[in-house]
């Protein structure tokens, strides 16, 4: 039996790079949401291009481009739902989680603001994107079958 994904669910995640990962009181805790299947597919499609030469329609050579950094950024933009203990580099104060409304794929979404996204270290951004992506998949039990 396959269980559908619960798009309202969130989970707390501590980065493997966090120096305080063993101390939940001090560690940065990222609240990760789930991307629904349609949104995840649209993000995948938008970052992938496939080009052929129109003057040679029978030629099987093509150019494929996958913008992996843009993919990670969009997954975190849509999937990050909050955080605790994320500290601003200049003020040493907790950063306020901020969202903005954007229109993407013909629908309005509340997403993480660019002001917040731009100060998340790139290694952490990539790690969060991977973890958010895992939330939209099959459970371990389902993949064993």
Which of 42, 12, 25 is closest to 106 using CA atoms?
Answer: 42
Provide the whole-model pTM: 0.80
pLDDT of residue 139: 47
| Chain center to CA of 75 | 2
pLDDT of residue 143: 38
pLDDT of residue 137: 62
Which parts of the chain register pLDDT below 50? 138-140, 142-145
Q: What per-residue string of b and e applies to 97-111 under the rule 16 or more CB within 10 Å gives b? A: eeeeeeeeeeeeeeb
pLDDT of residue 47: 73
CA torsion sign for 127, 133, 139, 145 is negative
pLDDT of residue 117: 96
Cα-based angle 9, 27, 31 (whole degrees, multiple of 5): 15
Q: Do 127 and 16 contact (CB within 8 A), yes or no?
A: yes
């Amino acid at each position: 039996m396959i269980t559908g994904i619960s798009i309202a669910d969130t989970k707390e995640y501590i980065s493997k790079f966090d120096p305080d990962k063993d101390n939940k009181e001090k560690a940065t805790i990222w609240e990760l949401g789930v991307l629904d299947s349609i949104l995840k597919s649209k993000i995948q499609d938008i970052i992938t291009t496939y080009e052929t030469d129109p003057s040679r329609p029978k030629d099987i050579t093509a150019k494929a481009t996958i913008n992996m950094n843009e993919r990670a950024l969009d997954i975190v933009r849509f999937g990050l739902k909050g955080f605790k203990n994320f500290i601003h580099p200049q003020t040493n104060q907790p950063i306020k989680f901020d969202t903005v409304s954007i229109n993407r794929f013909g629908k309005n979404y509340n997403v993480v603001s660019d002001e917040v996204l731009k100060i998340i270290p790139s290694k952490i951004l990539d790690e969060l994107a991977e973890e958010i992506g895992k939330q939209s998949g099959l459970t371990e039990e389902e993949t064993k079958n």
